[in-house]
Homo-oligomer: A and B are copies of this chain.
Amino acid sequence: MTVVRPPTLRDVAQRAGVHPATASRALNPQTRSLVNEATASRVLKVAESLGYRPNPIARSLKTARSGTVGLVIPDLTNPLFPPIVRGIEDVLGPAGYNAWIVNTDNDPDREQSQVDALRSRHVEGLIVATARLQHPLLERLHAEGVRMVLINRRLASGEIPSVTADDARGIATSVEHLVSLGHRRIAHLAGPQNTSTGLVRQQAFRQAVRDQGLPEGPDLIAFCDSWTEIEGARGLRSLLDAGSDFTAVVAGNDLLALGCYDVFAERSIDCPQDLSVVGFNDMPIIDKLRPPLTSVRVPHYEVGAEAARMLLEGLADPQRHPRSVLLPLTLAVRQSTASPAR
């Protein structure tokens, strides 16, 4: 029994009566112009009829380019990431690249081993969504010359190119929205301060409050240790238990806002009658909550697409000066925000 070995370039060349090198040139759009038009089309035809598929492994070995990039995210099951991944793949695919996705679960050890695995796979670059403000691993990779683009987060040093949403503007817009509804005392659920998003949003909140001439103070900010529902609930409870007086909450992200809903149920708080809430990220299905959550919409797909574009540019032209991109965002206004009752 003969196992059908997939046709190779030699097979095509032989059948077309040319040298393998000629066949190679004819088959590669980049070099097709170097070959006689008639010869080229003959080669193409033979390749077609044989069902020839170039072997990317062999090509990679020769060209020392793997055609792959690594994508490092905390957890694919966080609904934030799938749209980003699609944005990335929709840009990489047509460029002949593919992405290896690894999940770190926010565990530095796992992150290290996953990045090792990617490097063993000889990825040409990295798109990283797990940055913390201080991040020795990423700094080291950068120093080693590994091509990277950060998404959503940035490093304190700011030397690595990044694609992030304009978080400060998003928070300011949220505060302005609440003020326009008549709110004066607004609280903030701040995310982890060792992440750029957590820090930037918290600082932006204070700035916005100051800009609007609203009352401020430590009793109007609760710090959450992680971006989770549990922590969001804990944060809101601590504000309420401290007896702080406020009519609206700007949550650091949607998960923290989700935690607020648990507290509403638990303490019979009417949202938005008693308390308005604004989230951040506009996660899918968040509009299905009762009441639907007003949230800052981040163009996740575009974040991914832009990051992929930047990485490809960097790979194509290593001299190119790295840049960082801030994407604009909008506020999706829903029923979780309304004028205060008092």
Contact = CB atoms under 8 A, between A and B. Distances in A.
Report the copy number of this chain in the oligomer: 2
A342 interface: no
Interface string A84-103: 01100100010000101111
A31 to B, nearest CB: 19
Interface in A41-85: 53-58, 60-61, 66, 75-77, 79, 81-83, 85
A158 interface: no
A273 to B, nearest CB: 15
A187 interface: no
A121 interface: yes
A285 interface: yes
B76 A86 contact: yes
A264 to B, nearest CB: 10
Contact of A289 (B119, B284, B290): B290
Nearest to A93: B117
B77 A89 contact: no
Given A58-B61, A288-B258, A86 B93 contact: no
A25 interface: no
B117 A89 contact: no
Q: How large is the interface on A (under 10, 10 to 19, 20 to 34, 35 or more residues)?
A: 35 or more
Contact of A86 (B55, B77, B117): B77
A325 B160 CA distance: 47
A283 to B, nearest CB: 8
Contacts of A120: 53-54, 56
Contacts of A66: 57
Given A120-B53, A122-B57, A103 B77 contact: no
Contacts of A55: 61, 122
A83 B89 contact: no
Contacts of A205: none
A280 interface: no
Contact of A98 (B77, B119, B121, B290): B121
A65 to B, nearest CB: 10
Contacts of A76: 82, 85-86
A102 B289 CA distance: 30
A223 interface: no
Contacts of A102: 89
Contacts of A121: 56, 98
11 contacts: A54-B120, A56-B120, A58-B61, A76-B86, A79-B79, A79-B284, A98-B100, A98-B121, A101-B101, A285-B286, A285-B288
Interface of A: 53-58, 60-61, 66, 75-77, 79, 81-83, 85-86, 89, 93, 98, 100-103, 117, 119-122, 258, 261, 283-286, 288-290
